[in-house]
Structure 1
């Protein structure tokens, strides 16, 4: 019994301390958030170095090049002049060269080169200065090329390259993120106003969620010393932090308000909310953190950055919900319902629709379970044909002139957009032996049946011990043709040429090789990630509910949610449905890092609802209710708050589908669809049906595990029944 009280009382003691010292708790939270912002501004965030983040042979090759002392390369740009109706390209090429040469931001302009089919001319040049910021200086060059195009409407003249690509991505993302920031908070607040029917109660979750995200981003500056940050991490932190932070506060506030309406005094209502919803938040947050930690097994810089960021934002959201939120509720009292909205404020938050559906499910649990599983299986079935791909330039604003130009250049000059790079490291690459190997390589490329495309460029570092040999690959990016050409390099051409140099290391890298190596690394890490996440989630549920059956059903239901999400992703983004509505072009595959990332995110987020609902069901069971009545009470009492929480998550996630990157669209659609299915089919139909069918077996625990701490789910006994009352603001 002592263990039971100790486990149950942690959240309550924290809440009561915050309530008794509410000024200290509130000021302490504000000081904590402010400190993270101030200190992070003094500590530079360590950005991930993608050149050192690769896997396999391509990663080793990139590291050799990074450490070889090659001079910093400026951002390269290309201008394509294409003859589409027999017009002369020579004059246009001269005008492009002259126009670019007069632009101060442009470095050396190279001589035009012709395509093998004689229809295209390519002019390459550099943007002077640091390559990282070249996107900010490429505008005048783009304007100059556009001017020549206007003078020659009978030709196709367009520019693409590193700098213009960076500018495109920066402009598109900035526009999308500005729109997202303008919409996400008002949309979330609007949903909470409808859910609570009171302005103050709606503002609290939004304010705390925003502060949690701000604090977590500040802490990320320190964590970046151990986990360097990739660009997308802050977007993911906003996505998860806003959704999770609002949900945790929503659970807590709704329970406290419900207890007040039942007649409990402020102290008792806060204690019950802390012991029930507070405990659910603690367990849910810990499960989310455990799930996110699974990404560390990939040893990939992007996943490690995502894992660190999401763990920090969830941890700060839990901290705020368990400390400053009770203090605020204690300070506000009944004023938490201040500024009621006529027509929206309701005493009873139980959803009529969900209760009517629950009556049907409980009356026919077996049929309901079969129908729910069949529906989820149908939604998940497209996932059986899932294919993955790396991110491509056309995944950003596919109809942009820069993207169209880049693809056209790739068609006419494959070696310029998707080259393979052979990195040769030896005591010296300025030897007759290396030149002989290079000649053999050129001969092999010419005899490759078109799989390897000239020209072949060679770059040697100042020390003369590393050479980078670039050769074009047939095909496009990661299609079967380009992968076959890359494998030809690795298995035959390179070993038979540069691989014969005494003491030399010869490795193949480039976009295609890096993508293949990345996919192989992900496949190797998947069993470890799945085992870790599923195993620890099972243990957490087992300890929390002291039931093997609850732990197993929780894991299986969450796997169904993930499978349905995969099916939706394949249906939309791989098969190409809703292309116009979502403004993307299907590539016959989904982004390669998406399945693993969605698995850990969804498995963690699904625990929000599962722990919250099952805890309420367990409350009834602990009071002696039959399982059918405990399910009816638990799900009936949580229907309103689960619906509100799900609507918030779906709305926030859906907004991310409006961003220009296909990966963020996949993330938004996948998460929104999964949460919607999880809160409806799984929690409102399948969970009550399965628990009703299992009956007392839900709480089965073998004798060998009876040593587990006994965690109480029911609130303490009520001192005396009080008449139900409506909350009124306190003057």
Structure 2
């Protein structure tokens, strides 16, 4: 590999314009593909197969009118007064225009809905009065019937007595016609009385049926009494825009057109703010904060390298690489569902490792130029040695990123694949474009005072060791410090950001806060609950079961309103909107989701409940990630350990590297939890409403930090191994390797910290904690773990650090990551110096 990279580096330096042109063509082609095929990005996250997704799919199949996605427009008056009639009329016109947007099925006018609710309340009150009046009339009818029945009974008794007298007097035959006529009259009257009784019984049954229906309606209205569309003071209202497709499938163009209608048709004195569901499209992936991070990185390079040309070269290389990668990724966004974090993660990593990888090769080349090597020979050797380390370092990052696909979570796997592609391109740029630019720059990569200096001898390393006591003290101090920083991670909660996490000047944040203040926090994250009803219910029975289920839902402690949405045509599925007491990312709402899924209805034992919504999705995503984590960690760490064993030809060094990574990642998670969940230093980092940690951040952080930590391990410890195999005692080699690599690793870590740090103040809520976690994790890993803890452990274990069983030594390939064999074949160019003799590291 080293020899191949050496030749590639020399070719790139000698044919610089060919290489530069090739990369420029690739950049233009990627840009053209983006213009031709690029789409838009979304912040909506969905995982197929979860309970939440299954509920949504069932609704699409059995109750399609309730399965469409929706977004809310929050309207509020600028003066805080009640909406005027003119404003309501003007808004109705706007709603009508929004309803004409392709993909929108309806816009719920909040003023009409609130008026309808008020009418329903009035109708129920009037209906109850009518029923009471009807009952009074029926009661009067029954009293009249009872009186008539009594009169009939009395008349019948009198007639029976007359018949008896006539029979006793022997005059029955003479009196029979008259008596029969009287009996016929009585029978006719009794028939009329029976008919009136039947009518009254029917009227009573009808009245009671009507009363039952009225009370069912009253119960439904009572359950939803706190679910308002216009605030109590009349100064705020929520208009719901309903779409044909589910929220995750609504085209970005549809959402943009809806937003445009409200923007282009303002109503005097009324502000319209859109919730996150309507603003989930991202048109740009970088902002001012990200640019500031790059400027800081450039400043670090200038200070380190002392010349603008040298400082600009890694940045140019990184920008070309990330341009090809980012534009290529965005070109796929038109055909592949892609969340906003996907290309941004690639952008972050591509920039950071692109600058660092080019810097490693540049730093080696500058050192060799000062020692007198010929330009092209130096570029080839730098590419074959440091470039070889870059390839293996990039390989560990690639493994960590590509392994995200084994989680079985589509959006996470796509993020890993895109980021891996960006890293791979950064490696290719480092070993091709960077040598080409070095060839064009010539001696100008050195400060003027160093140009032309030839044959400068390498200073002999100081032969000294750190003390054992110092190593123990450094180890203990470092581990304790990182353990303390990691403590908040024990309290970490996972979730997805809601509108409260957006910038305070964003429309999403304003909408969230108006809803929270005027309608209650729970209305920002309603839950969709579906119930499987028993088979064979008629309409009345199904309605009764629906109300009974609604009552059970409403009885839960953290439920403030339950609104029945409707039933499927076959009455096998009922849907409810449940409003929790707190917002979608609160602990109480998460617990409520679990309660709902476990809830049983006492009188309906066959009813099963399913839940969808933001809080439900958070739980499902977090559980899916937790289930996938062991396999992911096993694959990433296992494959990376194999690579490190091959590179360092040691069993202990890879274990030390992995142990250090565990410290780094827990410290990073502790920092993220303290700031974004607990709200510490919130004013500095723009955390105005602390909430749960981004659900997939730990997985991303573990994968990416592992790859980057192994990069620094490789660049520092390979120097220790190089010194050791060249005859330096093990403990002295630790200091010599750290001394040789600390300047470039320090600069590289600061650069990576600056690039990641720029994203801490991103315009997107989802990317900010990722930027912080990576920036803080890199800082901790580079300066505490790799430069303090690892050297201390390496000192304590001494020669044992390089132990390898003989049988394993025989079967492992010799990758020569330091490029020692290459240096022996190309000894010091024009200086003619002799390479140092290598020691044989005898395995046990």
The bucket for the TM-score relative to the shorter chain is: 0.7 to 0.9
How far residue 248 of structure 1 moved from its aligned partner, in angstroms, is: 0.2
Alpha-carbon distance in 1 for matches of 2:704, 2:432: 25
CA distances 1:319-370 after superposition (whole Å, capped 9, x unpaired): 1111222233234332333xx5899999999xx9xx99x9767883222222
Q: CA separation of 1:344/1:516 partners in 2, compared to 1, >3 Å: closer, same or farther? A: farther
Of 416, 419, 427, which residue of structure 2 is paired with 1:310? 419
Alpha-carbon distance in 1 for matches of 2:354, 2:588: 47
The question of 1:474 aligning with 2:581 is answered: yes
Q: CA separation of 1:365/1:93 partners in 2, compared to 1, >3 Å: closer, same or farther? A: same
Counterpart of 1:155 in structure 2 is none
The question of 1:9 aligning with 2:115 is answered: no
Contact 1:382 1:567 in 2 (8 A): yes
> Where does 1:526-565 land on structure 2 (aligned, <5 Å)?
526-565=629-668
> Where does 1:148-297 land on structure 2 (aligned, <5 Å)?
159-162=272-275, 166=278, 177-180=286-289, 182-220=291-329, 228-297=337-406
Alpha-carbon distance in 1 for matches of 2:36, 2:232: 55
CA distances 1:276-311 after superposition (whole Å, capped 9, x unpaired): 211110011000010112322332233123212210
Alpha-carbon distance in 2 for matches of 1:660, 1:595: 21
Deviates more, 1:683-692 or 1:597-606: 683-692
Q: Partner of 2:761: helix, strand, or coil?
A: coil
Alpha-carbon distance in 1 for matches of 2:291, 2:385: 35
Q: Partner of 1:576: helix, strand, or coil?
A: coil
Counterpart of 2:178 in structure 1 is none
Contact 1:51 1:63 in 2 (8 A): no
Contact 1:83 1:120 in 2 (8 A): no
The question of 1:76 aligning with 2:183 is answered: no
RMSD, aligned α-carbons: 4.0
CA distances 1:473-507 after superposition (whole Å, capped 9, x unpaired): 3333243432333233222257975x847xxx863
CA distances 1:590-636 after superposition (whole Å, capped 9, x unpaired): 22222221111111112221111112222111211112332222221
Counterpart of 2:671 in structure 1 is 568
Q: CA separation of 1:265/1:596 partners in 2, compared to 1, >3 Å: closer, same or farther? A: same
Deviates more, 1:285-294 or 1:485-494: 485-494
Of 814, 817, 823, which residue of structure 2 is paired with 1:710? 814
Q: CA separation of 1:363/1:547 partners in 2, compared to 1, >3 Å: closer, same or farther? A: same
Counterpart of 1:3 in structure 2 is none
Counterpart of 2:53 in structure 1 is 59
Return the TM-score normalized by structure 2. 0.73
The question of 1:608 aligning with 2:711 is answered: yes
Of 223, 248, 263, which residue of structure 2 is paired with 1:139? 263
Counterpart of 1:670 in structure 2 is 773
Of 787, 801, 804, which residue of structure 2 is paired with 1:698? 801
How far residue 207 of structure 1 moved from its aligned partner, in angstroms, is: 1.2
Alpha-carbon distance in 2 for matches of 1:401, 1:537: 44
How far residue 532 of structure 1 moved from its aligned partner, in angstroms, is: 1.6
Q: CA separation of 1:568/1:92 partners in 2, compared to 1, >3 Å: closer, same or farther? A: same
Q: CA separation of 1:623/1:676 partners in 2, compared to 1, >3 Å: closer, same or farther? A: same
Whichever of the two has the greater Rg, that structure is 2
Of 548, 556, 574, which residue of structure 2 is paired with 1:440? 548
Counterpart of 2:787 in structure 1 is 684
Q: Partner of 2:563: helix, strand, or coil?
A: strand
Extract unaligned runs of 5+ from structure 2: 100-106, 119-224, 244-253, 834-844
Deviates more, 1:632-641 or 1:250-259: 632-641
Q: Partner of 1:470: helix, strand, or coil?
A: strand
Counterpart of 1:323 in structure 2 is 432
Alpha-carbon distance in 1 for matches of 2:784, 2:347: 27
Of 13, 28, 42, which residue of structure 2 is paired with 1:34? 28
Counterpart of 2:142 in structure 1 is none
The question of 1:92 aligning with 2:83 is answered: yes
Counterpart of 1:489 in structure 2 is 596
Alpha-carbon distance in 2 for matches of 1:347, 1:362: 40
Q: CA separation of 1:672/1:481 partners in 2, compared to 1, >3 Å: closer, same or farther? A: closer
Q: Partner of 2:611: helix, strand, or coil?
A: strand
How far residue 638 of structure 1 moved from its aligned partner, in angstroms, is: 1.6
Q: CA separation of 1:124/1:370 partners in 2, compared to 1, >3 Å: closer, same or farther? A: closer
Of 423, 442, 460, which residue of structure 2 is paired with 1:333? 442
Q: CA separation of 1:573/1:72 partners in 2, compared to 1, >3 Å: closer, same or farther? A: closer
Of 588, 592, 605, which residue of structure 1 is paired with 2:695? 592
Alpha-carbon distance in 1 for matches of 2:395, 2:324: 18
Counterpart of 1:625 in structure 2 is 728
Contact 1:228 1:301 in 2 (8 A): no
Counterpart of 1:153 in structure 2 is none
Return the TM-score normalized by structure 1. 0.83
Contact 2:760 2:771 in 1 (8 A): yes
How far residue 170 of structure 1 moved from its aligned partner, in angstroms, is: 7.0
CA distances 1:2-60 after superposition (whole Å, capped 9, x unpaired): xxxxx442322332343454443332222233223323443455967958634521011
Extract unaligned runs of 5+ from structure 1: 1-6, 149-157, 725-731
> Where does 1:400-415 land on structure 2 (aligned, <5 Å)?
403-410=509-516, 412=519
Counterpart of 1:373 in structure 2 is 479
Contact 2:558 2:589 in 1 (8 A): no
Alpha-carbon distance in 2 for matches of 1:594, 1:639: 29
Counterpart of 2:492 in structure 1 is 386
Counterpart of 2:92 in structure 1 is 101
How far residue 649 of structure 1 moved from its aligned partner, in angstroms, is: 1.2
Counterpart of 1:4 in structure 2 is none
